[in-house]
Every structure is written in structure tokens, then in C-alpha cells.
Amino acid sequence: MALALVIAHEVDSHGCLFTERLLERGYEVDTHIVCPTYFEANESVPFPPFEGYDLIVPMGSIRSLTDTDAISSWVHDELDLLGECHEAGTPMFGICFGGQLLATALGGTVERAPEGEFGWCSIDGDGNPAGLGPWMQWHHDRFFPPAEAEVLATSPRAHQMFRLGRTVGTQFHPEVNRTHVAGWLGSSADEYLAECGLDRHQLLADTGANEEGARKACFALVDWFLDEVAFPEN
């Protein structure tokens, strides 16, 4: 049985629908929680050896690659490990912060976005295998993948998806369902949500309305990644 590693940077950044589809596709999935204490960014659990896994999935985070000092106990180790996996040809799919990690590990950059994106938004791209969405967005930073990468999807504010070899990164969140988003909202103060232009009740309602379509789209995206990027020979 193939073995996947989901890297959850906090307790609420698990793989959700992405993990669900991997399990349906016959994968055994391990989840490594980097920071088990939510607001202690540098209290981290050492990473397991990555070389034993057939697939790596780094997830989102409330942290930022524009302030690596705040996460110095683990972020440089993770970047090195992800870079080594890419060079070894291990398939990887990074989501939001995970996509930013992959862009950085492969030679790209991350910066604070002039404007963040929050809620259910459409994306563009002629060769976009994810479809136009809407997809969940929740990010203050944005990535610029390395020059040799193929940008597969964009929005007016950020690159949304890139591919380089067997590595794919997204800025949007394909993995979420209503329960997942409710957990994020439960950890967010009203003042912060207001700054982001979010109303918790409206976002939950929007998530419920988009949930079934988002599930189908996420499963299709996982299938595309497995069948066209990670293991096309199968």
C-alpha cells in the first residue's frame, strides 16, 4: 500500500477532503502535526523521515514565510526536506502555506500580498486543471514560483497554482468542508474577521452552499494529481 504524509502545521490544518480522497484511492495516510500548541509557533515536533513516503502533502498555516524567525525551530528543516524530496522525485502537493513552502524550497519567493483573499473566489487559467471554482481562499501572503515552473491558475491578486515536475502548489484551499471552516472561524476573533472583510455566519452559509461542489472538485483535483502528475505511468 502506498503511504502519504500530510504535514499539518497546526491542529486545525489537517488534510480533510484531500486526505479523504487519498484514503479512497487506497493510500495509507500519516498526519504529522508540527505545532501541537496553537499559539506557540516554535514549540514543534521533529519531522519524521520523509524518504519513507510515496507522497508528501504540506498543508496551510497561520504562520508566514515573511517572518521565519517566528518559526525558526522547524521551517528551515521543512524547506530543506521538501527540497530534497523534489530533487528525489517524490510527488508533493502543497496547499496555501504548503504551496508557499514548495515555491520557496524550489527557488521561488513569498511576499506579503497587497491585498489578501478570503472566502469563496473564482480562479483563472487556460490550462487550469482545478477548474474555475469557486475555491476557498484565506491568505495574507502570496507565492511567486521559480521561473521554470508552469503557472496553471491565477487570480487578480495572486498566483493560484503551479507545477514543476512532480510538485504542485496551490494558494487556494481545495481541502475544506463546513466543519473545517467552522474550526478556523472558532479560532478567529471578530476583530480579525472584520479586518479581512469576513462575517462568520455568512462564510459558514457560503461554505455550506459550496460544500458538495467543492468536494467533487477536490476529489477531481486529487485524481488529476495522482494520475497525471505523481504517477502517470500507472
CATH number at residue 117: 3.40.50.880
Query: Do β-strands 3-8 and 55-58 pair in parallel, antiparallel, or remain unpaired?
Result: parallel
Per-residue confidence (pLDDT) for residue 178, from 0 to 100: 94
List the grid coordinates of 134. Answer: 469557486
CA distance 131 to 128: 6
Q: What is the mean pLDDT of each run of 10 residues along the chain (234 residues)?
A: 96 95 98 93 95 96 96 97 97 98 98 96 88 96 97 96 98 96 92 94 96 96 97 84
Domain span at residue 134? 3-230
| 195 classed as catalytic | no
- Across 178-189, b (16+ Cβ under 10 Å) vs e yields bebbbbbbeebe
Q: Exactly one of 96, 139, 180, 218 is catalytic; name it.
A: 96
Structural domains of the chain, count: 1
Burial class (CB within 10 angstroms; exposed 0-12, middle 13-18, buried 19+) of 234: exposed
Single out the catalytic residue among 14, 159, 173, 180.
173
pLDDT of residue 47: 97
Residues 10, 78, 117, 175: which is the catalytic one? Answer: 175
pLDDT of residue 233: 80
Q: Check if 173 is active-site.
A: yes
- Nearest CA-CA partner of 135 in 61, 211, 192, 196: 211
Predicted model pTM:
0.96
pLDDT at residue 127 in the model: 76
Torsion of CA 101, 106, 109, 112, to 10 degrees: -10
- Cα–Cα dist 72/32, whole Å: 18
Widest distance between CA atoms in the chain: 50
**E strand residue ranges, 43-164:** 55-58, 92-95, 109-121, 135-144, 150-154, 159-164
Query: Is-catalytic flag, 121?
Result: no
